[in-house]
Amino acid sequence: MAIIPWRVVVTPHDGGGVKLVVWEALAANDTGRPFNVAAYPDKTVQFLGTFGGNLLIEGSMNPVEADAVYATLNDPQGNALATISAAKIENVLEHVYLLRPSAGASVSDVDVWLLLSNVRG
């Protein structure tokens, strides 16, 4: 059980309202360090790796990481992002201040990618 740091991935679109973040190698009972997503209304997550258990995406409205209380977020159809057990890509419905992934007891090695955008076409 560890807190997995996020890493910002440099892309050709940086500075244009787009940001790409990854938490790598989440394993059993790991939690990703929360990332501030307040400036990005559009959020998409991708899950890749060896699952063996479930992952979930959580958010909090509290900007103070140490005091934040998290709730499970949903996809645009209202399905909880709580039982992710295979590779997939999902949009995130809620607009929150902090977002993080969490891994269940049997997760082996999963990367969680987060694409953020505040660009409207």
Longest dimension (CA), the chain: 41
pTM comes to 0.94
Domain ranges of the chain: 3-117
Average of per-residue pLDDT across 28-45: 97
- The domain defined by 3-117 folds into Jelly Rolls (2.60.120)
- Write out pLDDT tens, residues 43-101: 999 999 999 989 999 999 999 999 999 999 999 999 999 999 999 999 999 999 999 99
With a cut of 80, say whether residue 11 has pLDDT above it.
yes
With a cut of 70, say whether residue 120 has pLDDT above it.
no
